[in-house]
């Protein structure tokens, strides 16, 4: 079987969740890292040969190009051997996963991405300090969204759908890691969220911790490079 | 078979596309109109008995509550007899429909909703004139999004996937009708879009025109009521 080509950047949450799904499901794939901060996904070559949307993550599967992480997830679930628990037929589990993923796209993903951009990405790209106003406003939106997540999707059960982990859990933890990894106080007054987070982390084991380590190393490396550049500038002046 | 309960408001684009899908697929359903401008979806009763998200459209299917239009669409495709062409397995058509629906959620839907809100809904609810600034900015975003839609999703074929209409086409036409029905000049310099729009309209026939008529009548009725209220106020003063 020709392996799926998977284009990704660990700085991006959906890249991490799909990478973990591919690994945990043992789907043969060729991992092709693309640097978003260097703009490698914005080139004409990437658009023409990989992905007309110029977005990450992306796949090509036997020459078929596909974008949008939720579409890639469903494509894998249909075309490859993805264990049933990730997207279960039983008890209308698929409808529940679909409902969460749609909610995530206009709520969780917007809030986590905005906080990450205002606090980390925009300052990095523009070589400035984060704007207090922008970070405060992103922080309030995130607060609100995490409360909604707890209230609408978590319950007394171990995972969102019950005793088994699904792609909804995997996708959500990678979203939440976006602000968490740059210092956001995710679990303050959120015991239910903290319990769920630990359960998901434990269930995913090394598939998750390996990717998470690479994500954090990449954050640190990028920060250090920016810091080094600043010091070099200061010496020059 | 117990009919699906379908909660909707024709002022909302996803309510229209799912209503048309239900009708065209001859799925037995009970149509339960809910008035968004009256805030009927925001009540505690609606939250507890119908939809914990307090959003439209929503369904209950044998007591199972489901929100998010794309999740409802997939639920119907799995659980009911929906004709294959709406969400085709052939040639990875499902992956292409999924890709469009994900793109729509963060692009087309945002742009069409924002224009509709700034130009019509906010002025209606606040009993003011539309803000020129807000409408101009929404208009620019919409311009950009419709150009992307033409470039990324339309081609020389009749519908997005080829010779057969899919849910991607149905969902997109209902989005585009949102700004179009309140006067936005949708087809200026967009021949490809105009051709595709006509093909979709013709293929959907009365399923579409009946719903579209009700949508436009509802817009007019709401406008007339607001106008009447204004005149009554003017007489009083």
ipTM over 0.90: yes
Q: Which helix or strand (DSSP H or E) is residue A55 part of?
A: none
- With beta carbons under 8 A apart, name residues in chain A contacting B103: 53, 67-68
B130 phi, psi to nearest 5 deg: -60, 145
Residue ranges of chain B whose pLDDT lies below 70: 237
Q: Are residues B73 and B94 in the same domain?
A: no
Nearest CA in chain B to A93: B75
Give the mutation candidate from A54, A98, A110, A150 for the B interface (greatest B CB count, under 10 A). Answer: A98
From B27, B168, B148, B180, select the one nearest B85 (Cα to Cα).
B168
Q: Are residues A48 and A95 in the same domain?
A: no
Per-residue pLDDT band at A237 (split at 50, 70, 90): low
Residue-wise pLDDT for A75-133, tens only, equals: 999 999 999 999 999 889 999 999 999 999 999 999 999 999 999 999 998 999 999 99
Query: Which of B70, B99, B101 lies nearest to residue A67, judging by beta carbons?
Result: B99
Does residue A230 fall inside a structural domain? no
Q: Which helix or strand (DSSP H or E) is residue B33 part of?
A: strand B29-33
Q: Are residues B232 and B141 in the same domain?
A: yes
Residues of A with CB under 8 A from a CB of B: 52-53, 64, 66-71, 74-75, 78-79, 92, 94-95, 98-99, 101-103, 105-106, 152
- With beta carbons under 8 A apart, name residues in chain B contacting A74: 94-95, 98
Residues of B with CB under 8 A from a CB of A: 52-53, 64, 66-71, 74-75, 78-79, 92, 94-95, 98-99, 101-103, 105-106, 152
Q: Quote the pLDDT of residue B237.
A: 61
Q: Quote the pLDDT of residue A52.
A: 87
One-character DSSP codes across B129-168: PPPHHHHHHHHHHHHHHHHHHHHHH--SSSBTTBSS--HH
Q: How many helices (H) and strands (E) does chain B have?
A: 9, 4
HSE-up (13 A, CA, CB side) for residue A219: 21
Residue A208 has pLDDT above 70, yes or no: yes
Nearest CA in chain B to A62: B92
Domain of residue B60, CATH code:
3.40.30.10
DSSP one-letter code for A237: -
From B102, B100, B117, B81, select the one nearest B196 (Cα to Cα).
B100
Q: Are residues A157 and A57 in the same domain?
A: no
Query: Bigger pLDDT: B146 or A230?
Result: B146
Whole-number Å distance between alpha carbons of A117 and A135: 9
Whole-number Å distance between alpha carbons of B15 and B8: 5
Query: Which of B64, B70, B98 lies nearest to residue A92, judging by beta carbons?
Result: B64
Q: Are residues B144 and B219 in the same domain?
A: yes
Q: Are residues A120 and A187 in the same domain?
A: yes
Domain carrying residue B186: 90-236
To the nearest whole Å, the CA of A81 is away from the closest chain B CA by: 16
Q: Are residues A24 and A49 in the same domain?
A: yes
Burial of A174 from C-beta contacts in 10 A (0-12 / 13-18 / 19+) = buried
Query: Which of B52, B53, B98 lies nearest to residue A70, judging by beta carbons?
Result: B98
Contact state of A71 with B102 under an 8 Å Cβ cutoff = yes
Residue-wise pLDDT for A46-58, tens only, equals: 888 888 888 999 9
Q: Quote the pLDDT of residue B60.
A: 95
Residue A33 has pLDDT above 90, yes or no: yes
Instruction: Give the range among A32-36, A156-160, A181-185, A221-225 with minimum mean pLDDT.
Output: A221-225
Q: Are residues A60 and A32 in the same domain?
A: yes
| Angle value at C-alpha A114, between A133 and B174, nearest 5 degrees | 120
Q: Are residues B114 and B217 in the same domain?
A: yes
What would the two tokens of residue A22 be? 């591919």
How many C-beta neighbours within 10 Å does residue A66 have? Answer: 23
Number of folded domains that form chain A: 2
Residue A230 has pLDDT above 80, yes or no: no
Query: If phi over 0 gives left and psi between -120 and 50 gives alpha, with beta otherwise, what is residue A54?
Result: left
- With beta carbons under 8 A apart, name residues in chain A contacting B52: 152
Residue A226 has pLDDT above 80, yes or no: no
Q: How far is CA B231 from CA B121, B122, B218, B222, B236, in A?
A: 19, 19, 20, 14, 9
Query: Which of A78, A99, A103 lies nearest to residue B94, judging by beta carbons?
Result: A78
């Amino acid at each position: 079987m020709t392996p799926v080509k998977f284009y990704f950047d660990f700085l991006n949450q959906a890249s991490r969740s799909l990478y973990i799904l591919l690994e945990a499901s043992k789907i043969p794939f060729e991992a092709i890292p693309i640097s978003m901060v260097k703009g490698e996904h914005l080139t004409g070559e990437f658009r023409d040969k990989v992905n007309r949307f110029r977005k990450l993550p992306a796949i090509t599967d036997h020459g078929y190009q596909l974008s949008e992480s939720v579409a890639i997830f469903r494509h894998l679930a249909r075309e490859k051997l993805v264990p049933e628990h990730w997207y279960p037929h039983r008890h209308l589990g698929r409808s529940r996963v679909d409902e969460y993923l749609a909610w995530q796209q206009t709520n969780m993903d917007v809030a986590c991405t905005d906080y990450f951009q205002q606090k980390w990405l925009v300052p990095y790209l523009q070589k400035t300090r984060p704007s207090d106003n922008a970070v405060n406003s992103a922080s309030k939106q995130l607060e609100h969204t995490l409360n909604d997540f707890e209230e609408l999707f978590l319950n007394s059960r171990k995972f969102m759908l019950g005793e088994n982990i699904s792609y909804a859990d995997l996708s959500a933890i990678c979203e939440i890691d976006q602000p968490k990894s740059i210092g956001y106080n995710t679990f303050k007054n959120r015991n239910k969220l903290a319990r769920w987070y630990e359960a998901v982390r434990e269930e995913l084991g090394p598939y998750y911790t390996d990717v998470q380590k690479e994500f954090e190393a990449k954050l640190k490396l990028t920060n250090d490079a920016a810091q080094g550049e600043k010091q070099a500038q200061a010496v020059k002046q």
